[in-house]
Amino acid sequence: MKGKAKAGYVLAHIAEVLMWLCAAMMVIGFLAGIIYPEAISVMSDTGTAGAKVSMPMVSGSLGRLDITGPDGTLHQGLYLLYTAAGAAELALTAVVFRRVWQIIKLSWASTPFQRPVVDKVKQIGWLFIASPLVTVAVSLVGFVAFWPEYSFVVDVGGIITGVIVLALSQIFAYGVKLEDDVEGLL
């Protein structure tokens, strides 16, 4: 099991670094959209009638976001909304991967039934809940600011996953209590 745990530890580290790099790229894209939006228009080949550029949303719950208007011009507000949401969701995902490798590292020292592991599992649950809330906030802003081109979407999959992880944290908390009781008997 140690080899599989080591592989998980390394993969979680790699995934965390990749998520932080992707989040940084989204922030750079956001800043570029504010500083020099014409460059974004040139890079995305918008500006001609009928040009249509769509970007897949990070969480996938919003599907594809059209960032061009009916005349083919770049819709800067939608682009900025997309890149800001992407940066936030990628950062939350990076923190989840950090918690995963911290849990693996803590479990190497002794049993996984220890208070810091329970805390990190709870944090992962709350992060899973926070990610769809970012999507809901972005969807709501997009719906209000860019209606009728934008629709309101709620992804409950991440919220359900977060609730399940929070329930699992209670199982780990019970394991911590049992280990404390056993150590008290010896």
Query: 3-state SS of 20-37?
Result: HHHHHHHHHHHHHHHHCH
90 burial type by CB count under 10 A (0-12 exposed, 13-18 middle, 19+ buried): buried
Pairing of strands 64-66, 54-56: antiparallel
State residue 172's pLDDT score.
87
Please give the structure tokens belonging to residue 31: 């800043």
Per-residue pLDDT of the chain (186 residues; tens, 9 = 90+): 566 778 888 999 999 999 999 999 989 988 988 888 777 766 655 555 555 555 555 554 545 556 666 666 677 787 788 888 888 888 999 999 999 999 988 888 777 788 889 999 999 999 999 988 887 887 788 778 777 666 666 778 888 999 999 999 999 889 888 887 777 665
> Taking a C-beta distance cutoff of 8 angstroms, is the pair 133, 123 a contact?
no
Question: Which pLDDT value is given to residue 67?
Answer: 67
Dig out the tokens for 5 from the structure: 């745990």
Decide: 94 and 23 in contact? Cβ < 8 Å: yes
Rounded-to-integer distance, Cα 148 and Cα 150, Å = 5
pLDDT of residue 14: 95
| DSSP letter (8 states) at residue 168 | H
